[in-house]
Amino acid sequence: MRPLKFGIIGMGTHGSRYANHILNDVKEATLVAVSRRDGSLISEFLGNNPKVIFHEDHTELLKEDIDAVIIATPTALHEKMTIGSMEAGLDVILEKPMAGTVEACENIIKVEKKTGRKLMIAQSLRYCPVWNKMKELVQNKPFPEWFEMVQYLEPPKTGWLLDKELAQGGCVINTGVHVFDSFSYIFDAPIRKVECTLERSINPTWEDFAYGNVTLKGGIEGGFKIARDSKYRARTLRIDYQGGLLYGDSLGNRLIQVEEGEEMVIDVGDPVNTIVPLLQDFIHCVQKGSDPPITSSDGVEAVKAARSCYVSAEKDEEVWL
């Protein structure tokens, strides 16, 4: 079967990663064209890859001989670009968050259903070996008594994340969706209630620290801390259950189980660059005509949780989804 032909809209940090993986690591794909409003910012990439077509206007990219696009642009642009791509007859990988609002997500889903195109949301932590081993183990443990995820990232390096209109929110919507999707994925239960507090320390426009609690379907309860004002990166998840706990560090690719006072390191396998299996899964679903492993329904659920955090913080109350 021939390689899937891709275009990439948005060649910032995320888009460039996709481009490099398609060119070097995913033999089932070929990169035909890329788009960025200012081509001078990727002149080195274009010089090193002269066969890749460049467009400043992403609508011109949609006219190229491609099968699918990867959209890695500022949050506010996701709705228009995704809808336009599907209406052009293309399948889509859409970087998280799916969109900045629930309404925008629902508009995307309407066009997805109308056109019949494949749409996969890039919630890439689902390919993290630690998360997948925790998902496997938790199925055979007693009912969770509590869980907590911590995700600390450095302040934004890209200007649009400080822009009120383009970002449509701070750490909760633009990185917190990873946290909320992790909960739903690992426990196989959607979020039903959130309670959240927002703080701002460095970002002049949006929150860069958030903490709160969630309740999942079935009554599983836990907490979260999300930051984009940190001097270091951390992404950990602790799950407590009767008689023990699991403690996972996704960045360190390390998982510890403690039961009856005994600590055991659980083998999770080698670290994985999560974009590679994400691309491979998307290609296979397009080629086989199957549903994407991370659907638009998954994407909108994470956005619902994030937007509910803003409502909770504003009203200082719990919000049911």
CATH, residue 102: 3.40.50.720
Q: Is-contact 202 155, C-beta < 8 A?
A: yes
Residues 144 and 108 in one domain: no
Tell me how far apart the alpha carbons of residues 86 and 91 are, in angstroms, rounded to a whole number. 6
Report how many domains make up the chain: 2
Q: Is residue 234 part of a domain?
A: yes
Q: Is residue 247 part of a domain?
A: yes
Bridge-partner residues for 263, per DSSP? 258
Residues 315 and 214 in one domain: yes
Report whether pLDDT(158) > 80: no
Q: What percent of the chain has pLDDT over 70?
A: 100
Average pLDDT (89-98) is 98
223-281 residue pLDDT tens: 999 999 999 999 999 999 999 999 999 999 999 999 999 999 999 999 999 999 999 99
Residues 176 and 309 in one domain: yes
pLDDT band at 41 (very low <50, low <70, confident <90, very high): confident
Residues 287 and 238 in one domain: no
Residues 164 and 57 in one domain: no
| Interacting residues of 225 by C-beta distance below 8 A, sequence separation 6+ | 148, 149, 150, 151, 152, 209, 210, 211
Model pLDDT, residue 1: 87
Across the beta sheet with 191-199, the strand order is: 262-266, 254-259, 244-249, 234-241, 144-152, 221-227, 209-216, 191-199, 319-320
Report whether the peptide linkage leading into residue 271 is cis, meaning its omega lies within 30 degrees of zero.
Answer: no
Q: Is residue 299 part of a domain?
A: no
Residues 206 and 286 in one domain: no
pLDDT band at 211 (very low <50, low <70, confident <90, very high): very high
Residues 166 and 315 in one domain: yes
Containing domain of residue 21, as a range?
4-124+274-292
